[in-house]
Structure 1
């Protein structure tokens, strides 16, 4: 291979950036799309090569392409293309401008990572492993050199060269007759060394080896002789990490040692358990009065909003504030300090970790503080400042603060357009989030214009079936439905689902999300039988890949119940909602919003079956909990209030029903306004009650007022 070689008349090799046993990795230019990529090339065959070894290498290389291309996760390296050119197998991947964990260990000087960095990396890798294992993929060569941290803090697993899909592992756990090492000795599990059957728990052992090295500076069995290392993995207990580094916490040491258990059954049984234990380690530190690692050094008061303090206050510390110490406050504007920038990067990563834990309010505070600090130190249009502002918008969006999120995204879009160009992937990502925020604000026409522009740019620069292009088209389909363009929404979603199935696989989470949208559009079109079949397929696929109790699986089953009710099959719907309510209560709590939603559906179907006293009792109980948990004027509470009124009416209790309908109408008027369609529907309900009570004149007057408002807005 050589510089300037053109692979497949598209990928121009620019610079060799890595070489290993399988081949070379080049920095390259994708001349079709005008972007930088990494191209991994298998060493060309030659006549002196062992044919068996060559075949094994090709099999391994093709496997990497097949497995890696099937994975779509923030923590997994993206594969763009694969093929063969003039006898050379090549794999095109995203170009990562970062350092692997071996390099982070101070370039081989065996200096362990700071605990904040270790915890951040551990959380991200455990999330990525949870995803890959859920897809049935076992990496089988997890090690520090195969985990890369990019400058903004994201950690990615790469090199799936010897990974196997779960259904393949059932046939054989290794390639035979090749002499190819199936792993790296310092990180291999005992069962892998023995050549027996392996599953995802082998990756967890390797992950334990990685964490041990990050925590202590050396792998568990640090010997030069490979055979001696393998024997130790099989037979010897590792030295407890705290004997090498006493400041490590006991729970963290216990987690690492549990991962290094010799028997797979004695380890944590899946990567999601590791994530929960990492969160528990942090929670324990907070209960013991320690600041969480991501908040050490933070302060409150003027510092929390980015104003320079009038005096240093070493005692003022808060886990949700920003940090600005006296030394930083005294610095001239835009003075660059490597130590300061490193701490800011750590704070940025900490905020990302908070988001992954669902602690969005805290993430907002930290992202806002880091954004202000980076703007002060680096300028408002520096890539790191914009990265923090983008993540601040993302966290605000997840808190439901769509207008604030939109404000942040618009600043990012304007700056990235000036600095990077309108069609740069980072600019397009921010524009797409802008459209999402507009949709959340009900500005669906504005969102549609942005989605359409971004989609055209993505198709032009990335191709029609790039995952980012398909994500944009999915969002466009969703927005079309909110505009009432139901047939277009259905057709677009169906096209995206077919493309995602081709590119990602039929059971990939993104494919299933789009099929969920297809089913929703079918329901909106009144095609309830078709919607039912689609939702059931999604529920079955999610049960197989995520498990029967996963929230996404339960969401699909909930929609199955909606379809059954619409089709008049209320007995089946009632049975389904009872099961859902029980599972939700067990897994998420009796007062969780989704538990209450399932119970609401149960009550609705009791009414459809004419069991109105039971329906009234269920509706009242759900309404009472929603009012206490969500607030009296929350839309879900008001929906339950209306269900109470409906049941009272069917039971002939029209006086009580009138009071319930009025309460709902007044609540909707406060929240939505007097002229909102839902408010007007409630006023019509109120008029119907007046009619049933023989108060015809009042009913007619109310009907007329509602009709007049509707005519005014229709014109």
Structure 2
């Protein structure tokens, strides 16, 4: 087997990227879907195995591969396919662009990772383990080499299910005397070493070993003799991590030691609760860590082999993540702030009063604020924007006190606080906060500094959210000019600004201009970032949207389908962006009159959204709304009415009775009632929609006027022609007077 091998007529092996005790991992191409994947090929089954063993192993592989394929979590590697080819068992997985923790430690020359990175990795790992444990799955082989951190900071656990297969097959082999090597013992729980039954608490012990290593630079029992390691896991209390690295937070030290308890019942029982402990520690007020003197290390009795199972005879230590032992490490500049910074030269700004010198900040306090800042970022990545905002506002206030109001790190916290305001629907507050940060950055860093341009671009986005598209256009155009001058036309940040400008042009009604610019940006991003890069696909999605607005639905449908297929390969089936492209595909099908196809599209999408995001998630309800619309287009009005009423009731409860989506559903209820000839009931619904929109949007808003038109039409159907004519007249006058 080598480069170019085609497995099952579909998966072309391109480059071997890993080799281990159970097989090889290859970078490959799925020829059917045109996407890049990773293919794990397990070692061929040799003739030394009897047929019954081979049959059991194959069946176990299939069962465990199905288990792995059923796991859907951002922290677990996606399994696409599995099978057997020419006597070879293989597994097809998403191709991760990143480095495993073992590689990260090696590239860091044996030094531990920065404290904020350790905490972020710990939080993401506990989330992934909580999910898999809730599915009844135990990994059994958690170690740095099985944990990958991708380019965007996402942490993913590899080899779920298959790790268990290799583990079980290995034990069977040892008991039959075939001599298959055990592998590294550095991350094994005491019950694994003793051959006892293991459960999720064994994974938590291994997690403790991993966290110990990335926090200190070495595993808890970093010895050259395998027996000593095994006995250490079984009998010896590990040294507290803070003995080796004093700046580690006290709560992290306690969590790691709790995980490394010898007996399963003494460890935390639940990974989700463990994650809450980490988050609580990260967001707690900073305090100065006490220095812990390194005490004498309890020697591990190397010769004490009692109680260790016979299969451990002849075991070697195996490969661990890094060869360097633990050490007391000075604070890593990347782990926290130093308090040192350089404003732009005085000649670049007008003379201004020199601020009074602040007292030198305590390094530990500043580093603690850096940790809390990163905790806020992690909360944002989890979508917990309200909590993230509270953290960033508190950190901003403390940084201002310690570092001053114009320190870059103070401004960074104020920027993130503004960002959370935008994400929680407070666009006006976000705009004011961004404006303050922009003014300070212009004063201290200059108008063309990358940080200044970033906050000005967010100001433009907030203006767009407020419907001030003309103002947003001016800011975007100004930022784009500066980005092209300082960064170049093809810099990713320049292209992001051009994408936003294209989006805003569409909201200004300049659809042709928006379509042209979006196509140009999509082509540039494909050239610079690659055709399947998420940013390229975002712009192609915008191209499709503008095609729809130009009533070029056939082209829009083709583009949406291409984007959906590409996102499936790059992001996975349950990623929100993949699901969004599938939703728009349904919209395009409906607009083309292909309502039966649209109905099937929405039915599948509803199932997938409910599984990935929940049955009452706004996007799940949006897909259900699309289903109801197409039921009506097919003349199935009784079903359409039932669907619209159900979605309206849920939206009213989840989003509020006057939320725009709720009102759209209420209007759909009225439409269905009208088609069923129940005009009096329809009139009552139309009036509720019109009154709510008038209250929320104003009497002259386009959506309010549409609702009044609906109301007039209903009056007409009820034979109340005079009332209908008067209402039509009023709406026409308001439309004519409305600003354009």
Structure 1-normalised TM-score?
0.62
In structure 2, do the counterparts of structure 1 residues 636 and 118 end up closer, same or farther at CA, with 3 Å as the change threshold?
same
Q: Distance in 1 between matches of 2:474 and 2:455?
A: 15
- Aligned counterpart in structure 2 of residue 555 of structure 1, from 574, 580, 595: 580
Paired residues of 1:216 and 1:244 also in contact (CA < 8 A)? no
Aligned to 2:78: none
Distance in 2 of aligned mates of 1:671 and 1:576? 33
Structure 2 counterpart of 1:218: 218
For 1:320-331, what aligned pairs fall within 5 Å after superposition?
Answer: none
Contact 1:242 1:248 in 2 (8 A): no
Identify the match of residue 637 of structure 1 among 662, 671, 676. Answer: 662
Aligned to 1:244: 239
Residue 176 of structure 1: aligned partner: none
Match of 2:489 in 1: 464
Equivalence for 1:588? 613
Q: Tell me the equivalent position of 2:359.
A: 335
Query: Is structure 2 residue 685 aligned with structure 1 residue 683?
Result: no
**Alignment partner of 2:525 out of 479, 500, 504:** 500
Give the deviation of 1:589 after TM superposition: 1.4
Q: Distance in 2 between matches of 1:611 and 1:670?
A: 33
CA distance in 2, matches of 1:680, 1:241: 76
Aligned equivalents of 1:422 and 1:430: distance in 2?
Answer: 11
Displacement of 1:255 in angstroms is 8.2
- Change in CA separation of 1:457 and 1:119 when aligned onto 2, cut-off 3 Å: same
> Which of 284, 293, 298 is residue 296 of structure 1 equivalent to?
284
C-alpha contact (below 8 Å) 1:661/1:685 kept by paired residues: yes
The equivalent residue for 1:695 is: 720
Supply the distance in 1 between the matched residues of 2:611 and 2:715 (Cα, whole angstroms).
Answer: 42
**Aligned residue runs from structure 1 range 129-168, under 5 A:** none
Match for residue 430 of structure 1 among 455, 459, 464: 455
Structure 1 position 540 matched with structure 2 position 591:
no
Q: 2 CA distance for matches of 1:496 and 1:596?
A: 32
Write the deviation string for residues 438-462 of structure 1: whole angstroms up to 9, x where unpaired: 1111111111111111111111111
Taking the aligned partners of 2:424 and 2:415, their CA distance within structure 1 comes to 15
User: Larger relative contact order (C-alpha < 8 A, sep ≥ 6)?
Assistant: 2
In 1, are the aligned partners of 2:186 and 2:219 still within 8 Å (CA)?
no
1:596 Cα deviation from its structure 2 partner: 0.7
Q: Matches of 2:424 and 2:640 in 1, distance apart?
A: 33
User: Is the contact made by 1:444 and 1:479 (CA closer than 8 Å) also made in structure 2?
Assistant: yes
415 and 653 in structure 1: CA distance in 2 versus 1, 3 angstrom threshold: same
Q: For residue 403 of structure 1, report the CA deviation from its aligned partner.
A: 1.2
Q: Structure 1 residue 189: deviation in Å?
A: 11
- Answer whether contact 1:591 1:629 (CA < 8 A) is retained: yes
Q: 1:362 to 1:699 in 2, by over 3 A?
A: same
Q: Structure 2 CA distance, aligned partners of 1:457 and 1:463?
A: 9
1:600-655: CA deviation from partner (whole Å, max 9, x where unpaired) = 00000000001111101110111111111111100000000000000110111010
* Secondary structure of 1:292 counterpart: helix
Name the CA shift for 1:340/1:703 in 2 (closer, same or farther; >3 Å).
same
Deviation at 1:398, TM superposition (A): 1.3
1:164 aligns to what?
none
Structure 2 counterparts to residues 608-647 of structure 1, below 5 A: 608-647=633-672
CA distance in 2 between partners of 1:549 and 1:242 (Å): 43
Number of matched residues?
495
Who is 1:571 aligned against? 596
Secondary structure of 1:364 counterpart: helix
Distance 1:692 1:701 in 2: 15
Q: Partners of 1:256 and 1:456 in 2: how far apart?
A: 56
Counterparts of 1:255-294 in structure 2, within 5 Å, are 280-283=273-276, 285=277, 292-294=280-282
- The alpha-carbon deviation at position 214 of structure 1 amounts to 3.3
Change (3 A) 1:217 1:579: same
The verdict on how the C-alpha distance between 1:256 and 1:692 changes in structure 2, with shifts beyond 3 A counting, is farther
Q: Distance in 1 between matches of 2:184 and 2:448?
A: 44
Q: Distance in 2 between matches of 1:545 and 1:297?
A: 39
Task: Give the direction of change, closer, same or farther, for the CA distance of 1:207–1:430 in structure 2 (3 Å limit).
Answer: farther
Per-residue deviation at 1:547?
Answer: 2.0
Deviations along 1:522-545, one digit per CA (max 9) or x if unpaired, are 111110000000000011111112
CA contact (8 A) 1:142 1:207 kept: no
Name the CA distance, whole Å, in 1 between partners of 2:469 and 2:218: 55
Q: Quick check: 1:118 aligned with 2:118?
A: yes
Query: Taking structure 2 as the reference length, what is the TM-score of the superposition?
Result: 0.60
Q: CA deviation at 1:245?
A: 2.8
Distance, in Å, in 2 between the alignment partners of 1:368 and 1:241 is: 44
Shift, 1:399, TM fit: 1.2
List runs of 5+ in structure 2 lacking aligned partners.
1-26, 28-35, 37-103, 129-142, 156-182, 189-204, 242-250, 262-269, 288-355
- Cα contact 2:126–2:271 (8 A) shared by 1: no
Rounded to whole Å, the distance in 2 between the matches of 1:538 and 1:638 is 30
Contact 1:210 1:219 in 2 (8 A): yes
8 Å CA contact retained: 1:657, 1:689? yes
CA RMSD of aligned residues (A): 4.1
Q: Cα 1:478–1:236, aligned 2, differ >3 Å: closer, same or farther?
A: farther
CA-to-aligned-CA distance 1:351-386 (integer Å, 9 cap, x gap): 112212211111111111111222222221111111
Q: Is the 8 A contact 2:686 2:707 kept in 1?
A: yes
Conservation of the 8 A alpha-carbon contact between 1:187 and 1:210? no
CA contact (8 A) 2:283 2:376 kept: no
